[in-house]
Amino acid sequence: MEKKILGIDPGLSVTGYSVLLQKKASIFAVEYNFKKFSSKDDVQTRIGQFYEFILYKIDQHGITHLAIETPFLGKNAQTFLKLGYLRGVIYAIAFQRKLQVFEFSPTQVKQSITGYGGASKEQVAKVLSMLFPNMYAPAKADATDALAIGLCGIWSKEKTL
């Protein structure tokens, strides 16, 4: 079965995304980049723009699965809370479109890609460039992060919806 996954590194300022296609044993990076949201817009507007963007990517590529990174509670609880809004949007879209969501912690993503959960973003990017030799260097790490998240989703085992 063919799997088309949208990997998402959610953010209210910058959201990284990737579209990966698995055909049998081959995996292709169809697209990966980032979407910037204006800090001049209020949170409600940016959440709405995020919603529309994710729906657009799902429809544009015929996405069958979603993969996201679980945020960790850092120093700023407000940032954590706002990322929760975006996760809620993703889960609502998944419910609406009957898509499965795979969720990974940053440590799980690094472990899956490099074999070491404490790997740096640069180490993850280096492994990804070996896996996808025609890959371009994106302007923001959010795109590379989304590619790694999407790859973890490709490697995940199917669960029934």
Model confidence over 34-74: pLDDT tens digits? Answer: 999 999 999 999 999 999 999 999 999 999 999 998 876 56
pTM above 0.85, yes or no: yes
Domains, the chain, with CATH or none: 3-155 (3.30.420.10)
Residue 72, pLDDT score: 64
The residues annotated with a catalytic role in the active site are 9, 69, 142
Residues in CB range of 96: below 8 A, 6 or more apart: none
Residue, of 16 and 161, whose pLDDT is higher: 16
Tens digit of each residue's pLDDT (9 = 90 or more) over 83-113: 889 999 999 999 999 999 999 999 999 999 9
pLDDT at 139 (0 to 100) = 64
Q: How far is CA 71 from CA 11, 60, 61, 159, in A?
A: 10, 27, 26, 22
